[in-house]
């Protein structure tokens, strides 16, 4: 048990917040990092990005020096087993904002046991503190009681806004946060959850192909689609009044027919895979279909195609394949040259200009093929 003088901050009505100090050595005994990953069932675990070794090394070089001033604090999620005992009498105080006392934090008996607290902010600093020769260096800590991952993830996203988190890490965490979010983050919550579905559903053509922050190292070579491009493609269709997915949102009640959206996404992208089999599942360097520019362009085409099929039909994917078939000879995903765009196949990039240029060309060709049919 570690005991420290502490202040209890009267900020939240139900979540206690404390400010206290630990030594560098004690931080390593008390707190651990919840690395983002997924279990065998695909459930999201943790929330922290991988350690940045160079950053940690730079902090460590400073901590190992002389006359160290280290005002950078840590934010910890503390277990409910912590105890705060108010200090009574002349030595204590309660000014209405803060209350003085002593905090008691449990420690583990061995390094093999899970530590009781989690680092919400300051993982690179904590890694350096665990290795510094100045093991007795006092470190400022702000700790709040929260054993549930939802509260920890919510705070993690909020405290990392000045130095932005990697986009894919934020996107993957969003479906697991249930507290109110800023409008920009909230708009990406459902698209990110749908990408999770596409990456894990055995019926999805994207199963195992989407690279997320939690993708294990041994799976990353096969995860060829960057999640952000797919999230943005879905977000556009959900939020545009002309989007095929927008039609399955009820803005007045705030409800969404996720079953219908799942069927559209799996059917459409399965038809894309079947229309361009030689380009599917390759790395973006070998196939521009799996590149951000291809995903975004084909995502925009989806809204046009779905307007001409019966989404309740048994063979929805077959109908979509028939709509896409005339495009097969027009697209140069893996070789050749987009003559109409005056661009070699591998020079298309994931930039707004190239996304718009490719999208407009593909939509034009699709509209032209339908006109020729009639």
In whole numbers, what is the pLDDT of the chain averaged over residues? 85
pTM: 0.62
Spatial contact of 293 and 279, defined as CB atoms under 8 Å apart? no
Span 123-152, average pLDDT? 81
pLDDT tier for residue 47 given thresholds of 50, 70 and 90? very low
pLDDT at 162: 47
Give CA 30 to chain center in angstroms.
Answer: 27
pLDDT higher than threshold 60 for residue 365:
yes
Give dist(CA 80, CA 144) in Å, integer. Answer: 9
Over residues 227-271, the pLDDT tens digits come to: 999 999 999 999 998 899 999 988 888 888 999 999 999 999 999
DSSP state, 48?
B
In which residue are the tokens 């919400």 written? 120
pLDDT at 323: 96
More confident residue, 326 or 47: 326
Span 69-78, average pLDDT? 84
pLDDT at 149: 58
pLDDT at 27: 86
pLDDT tier for residue 355 given thresholds of 50, 70 and 90? very high
Give dist(CA 359, CA 320) in Å, integer. Answer: 18
Give dist(CA 66, CA 270) in Å, integer. Answer: 62
CA neighbor of 119 nearest in space, from 77, 153, 73? 77
Over residues 156-189, the pLDDT tens digits come to: 666 555 455 567 666 666 776 666 566 666 777 8
pLDDT tier for residue 36 given thresholds of 50, 70 and 90? very low
* Least trusted range by pLDDT, from 37-41, 71-75, 333-337: 37-41
Over residues 264-320, the pLDDT tens digits come to: 999 999 999 999 999 999 999 999 999 999 999 999 999 999 999 999 999 999 999
3-state secondary structure of 218: helix
Residues 6+ apart with CB under 8 A from 201: 207, 262, 266
Token code pair at residue 168:
């894919």
Give dist(CA 258, CA 52) in Å, integer. Answer: 37
């Amino acid at each position: 048990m570690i005991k420290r003088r502490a202040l209890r901050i009267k900020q939240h009505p139900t979540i206690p917040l404390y400010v206290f100090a630990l030594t560098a050595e004690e931080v390593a005994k008390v707190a651990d990092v919840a690395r983002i990953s997924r279990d065998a069932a695909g459930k999201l675990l943790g929330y922290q990005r991988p350690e940045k070794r160079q950053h940690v090394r730079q902090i460590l070089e400073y901590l190992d020096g002389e006359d160290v001033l280290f005002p950078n604090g840590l934010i910890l999620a503390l277990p409910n087993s912590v105890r705060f005992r108010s200090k009574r009498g002349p030595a204590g105080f309660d000014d209405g904002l803060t209350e003085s006392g002593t905090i008691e934090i449990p420690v583990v008996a061995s390094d093999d046991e899970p530590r009781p607290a989690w680092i919400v902010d300051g993982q690179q600093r904590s890694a350096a503190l665990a290795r510094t020769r100045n093991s007795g260096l006092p470190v400022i800590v702000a700790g709040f009681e929260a054993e549930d991952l939802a509260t920890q993830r919510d705070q993690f996203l909020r405290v990392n806004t000045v130095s932005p988190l990697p986009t894919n890490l934020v996107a993957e965490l969003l479906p697991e946060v249930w507290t109110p979010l800023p409008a920009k983050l909230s708009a990406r919550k459902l698209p990110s959850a749908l990408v999770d579905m596409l990456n894990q559903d055995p019926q999805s053509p994207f199963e195992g192909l989407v690279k997320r922050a939690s993708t294990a190292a041994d799976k990353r070579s096969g995860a060829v689609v960057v999640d952000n491009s797919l999230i943005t493609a879905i977000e556009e269709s959900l939020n545009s009044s002309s989007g095929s997915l927008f039609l399955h949102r009820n803005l007045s009640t705030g409800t969404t027919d996720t079953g219908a959206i799942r069927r559209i996404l799996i059917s459409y992208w399965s038809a894309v895979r079947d229309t361009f089999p030689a380009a599917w599942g390759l790395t973006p360097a070998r196939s521009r279909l799996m590149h951000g520019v291809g995903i975004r362009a084909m995502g925009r085409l989806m809204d046009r195609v779905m307007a001409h099929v019966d989404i309740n039909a048994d063979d929805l994917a077959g109908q979509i394949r028939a709509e896409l078939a005339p495009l097969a000879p027009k697209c140069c995903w893996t070789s050749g040259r987009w003559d109409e765009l005056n661009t070699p196949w591998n020079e298309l990039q994931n930039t707004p200009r190239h996304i718009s240029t490719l999208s407009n060309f593909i939509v034009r060709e699709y509209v032209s093929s339908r006109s020729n049919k009639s």
